[in-house]
Structures are given as C-alpha cells and as structure tokens.
Amino acid sequence: MEFDRYLFAYFVNGSDADAEQVRFAVSHDATAKGWTPLHAGAPVLRSTVGEGGVRDPFLTRDPRTGRVHLLATDLHAAADDAEGRAATGGEGGAWDRAVRHGSRSIVVWSSDDLVRWTPPHLATIAPADAGNAWAPKAFWRADRGGWTLFFASALYPEGDSRSRERHQRVLSVETSDFREFSAPRTFLDPGHDVIDVTFAEFGGRLHRFSADSLTDVPDEKWRFVSQEVGDAIDDSAFVVVRRDLGRPELERAEGPAPFPALDGSALFLLLDEFEKRGCQLFRSDDPASGRWEHVPDAGLPEGARHGSVLPITRSEAERLLETEDPS
C-alpha cells in the first residue's frame, strides 16, 4: 500500500458521556502538522460494552489483509462521579478504583475500510490478580503470524485486600485475531510504575518508549517519557537514550505515540501533556541521539489525549473526509 497521510485516533477529557470515546482526525499531508477532526470533533466510535467509555485508542493494520483493528482501555473515569467518586484522580477517586478493581478487558473494533466498523467487543487479557488493563498496544510479529499485545497492570497476590495500591508493570499476550489470547506474562517490571510501552523502528534499530516514573537518580521520580534502543521486541538489553522526553517544553508527559515519516527521513512522536495541553508533536531526524524538536504549531485537535497514529492511503483519507458520520 502506498501511504499518503495519517489517521489519528484519540480521546478527550471531560465529565460527559462523549468525553471518553474514540475520535478521529486526518492529517492534511505527510508533515503531520495540520489535522482535520472528523465528525466535527465528536466521537466516531462509542463503547457500549464494559465500563461504557474508552481511553488510549491504538490503531494497528493487519499486513496480510489490510484490515485495521482499534484497541482501547475499557475505562470511563467520568462515570465514577455518578457513583459518588471524584474523577480527578485523587485519593479515593476514579483512578484509585480503577487500579484496584478496574476492568481486566480491553475494547476492540475492526474495519476493512476505516468507515464501517464492527460493533465493539470486550476482550479479557489481564489475569485474575490484576487490578486493571491499560493502554493496549499491539505489534505484528511476522515470525509468529500474529501480534504481541502489551498493556499495563497492577497485580495483587491472591487474598490481598487491595487496600494498598501496587505498582503498574507491563504484561503481554499473543493473539492472531484479537479474540483469543495466550496467557499473560510479565514483559517489563522494573519494580516501580511503568506504563504506555510502545515501539517504533527507525534506522535499523527498535526504539522503545514508556512512561517510566523513575529517573537516573535513585528514589527520584518525575512524570516524563523514557526512550530506549534495542534490536528486537524481546531484546533484554535495551539501552536508555533519554529519561526525560518532553522536557523542557512540557510540564509532564505520558502516552508516547511514535510514527515514522512516510519518506523514512524522520520519526514523529506525540507526547500527552496530561492535565495540561494534551498531545504535543515532536520530530527527530536522529532519534537514537535522544534529540527531539518540539513542533508547537502542529494543528492537533484541541484537547486530544493519549492515542495513536496510523499511515493511510490517499483513497482512505478521501473516503474518511467525504463521510459525514463514519460511525
């Protein structure tokens, strides 16, 4: 397939039923600097399963068929308000509930044309001792004929009252159809919070990004993104390139979403300045150096939060833009 521009899937914050749902935007061209929100910025896909809301949408294309799958966190934090819990992420609020007794499933949609999507279905991927399953991301493994799917979970020993929050670590499962999954295994557990693990190939190396709470100084924490370089997804010897992606341009960052320039000349990266401006665009001609340029004038949809970007063809872009209501 010859790709011409990009499709961006994202969600936004808010207390109404439409906030934590899937929105789309199409880039004006291959620079990723200008975007047109679809459906006038309203949700394109709504979850009617699980918790009734979704966050962290991730797009992946099946290289065999061209079919696109969209995975998302099954979480509707705003709904916690109706149950008497604050949705601010404070102690006893939505996040406190979500990491101890949250959904162990993700929400999945599929489409052959990016316009008509299957109804959403719940896929349970986290083990019974997990408190949550967050930020699913799937990467095609040609040697396995399927995807490795990564997500973050807090794990609690059997019989644990869950009165104390456990740290988030990254688990993985294997799947060929997003309906049946292997038993989950621990992929990355540094002993402290790490979420939002994702990968991008560039320059013959594999770049791994994560929202890692730890700095290079023991016991010092901050909220930025780590970047590492390795040779394969299962490489045990990834080398840290940067611990503070997003500084000094952003006050905080999570939800890294890397995607290659269509001509292969650079790597783009969206970082979510959560609780502030939302997604911000960065670009690097040499990502292995850890040097990234902020693109502050990128016309990303207002308030766009943690999502993903998929290269699409000209005909796919035109079809999306010509469809008033893709849902």
317 class by beta-carbon count within 10 Å (0-12 exposed, 13-18 middle, 19+ buried): buried
Which residues 6+ apart lie within 8 Å of 133 measured at CB? 73, 74, 102, 103, 104, 105, 106, 125, 126, 151, 152, 153
How confident is the model at residue 91, as a pLDDT? 43
Strands 23-27 and 35-37: antiparallel
Q: Domain 3-322 falls in which CATH fold?
A: Neuraminidase (2.120.10)
Rg of the chain over Cα atoms, rounded to whole angstroms, equals: 18
Token pair 């930025």 is found at 224
Provide the β-strand partners of residue 139. Answer: 148
> Which of these, 57, 203, 202, lies nearest to 134 by C-alpha position?
57
As a whole number of angstroms, the distance between CA 266 and CA 30 comes to 11
How confident is the model at residue 89, as a pLDDT? 40
In single-letter form, the type of residue at position 114 comes to L
Query: What are the pLDDT tens digits along the chain (327 aa)?
Result: 899 999 999 999 888 889 999 999 999 999 999 999 999 999 999 999 999 999 999 999 999 999 999 999 999 988 765 443 443 344 456 788 999 999 999 999 999 999 999 999 999 999 999 999 999 999 999 999 999 999 999 999 998 999 988 999 999 999 999 999 999 999 999 999 999 999 999 999 999 999 987 766 666 667 899 999 999 999 989 999 999 999 999 999 999 999 999 999 999 999 999 999 999 999 999 999 999 999 999 999 999 999 999 999 999 999 999 985 544
Q: Which two tokens stand for residue 160?
A: 């644990």
63 class by beta-carbon count within 10 Å (0-12 exposed, 13-18 middle, 19+ buried): exposed
Reported pTM: 0.93
Give me the residue spans of the domains in the chain: 3-322
Q: Determine contact, residues 228/239, Cβ cutoff 8 Å.
A: yes
How confident is the model at residue 95, as a pLDDT? 82
How confident is the model at residue 219, as a pLDDT? 66
How confident is the model at residue 88, as a pLDDT? 34
> How confident is the model over 261-286, as pLDDT tens digits?
999 999 999 999 999 999 999 999 99
